[in-house]
Amino acid sequence: MLEHDQNERDLKEESERLGIEAKVKACKHVDWGYKAFPYWAAQRKGFAELDGKGIEERTEHKVVYWLRGRDLGGYFTVEEINEWVDNNTGVIADEIKQNTAKRVNEARAKLKA
């Protein structure tokens, strides 16, 4: 087996163990299809800085996720995703609210034009 293939297999196994993809898919307060794509945290060093910390510094897990949906696209930690899925709060909820408001305001501006 090639090293790349083993790496992908290990990533998939770790992601399945965490259950994030299934939690996002089953999330009750999401009205559009959000999807979580796993990545090794160490391979995303310096990505998605928040309060001066890269994503790999904000998690206790080996895996982080690219989360994609109608009003969202970005890298997030397991902890951030769990906070959003479980309570509809935190960094992800705030970003969705901001992006939704922006999209709505842009649509209203087009209607007025």
pLDDT of residue 1: 61
Q: Give me Rg for the CA atoms of the chain.
A: 16
Which parts of the chain sit beneath pLDDT 70?
1, 31-32
Nearest to 102 by CA among 76, 79, 71, 80: 71
Amino acid at 28: K
pTM: 0.84
Nearest to 48 by CA among 66, 72, 60: 66
| DSSP single-letter state for residue 33 | -
- For residue 75, the SS3 value is strand
pLDDT of residue 31: 65
Q: Which residue's entry shows tokens 């009205």?
A: 31
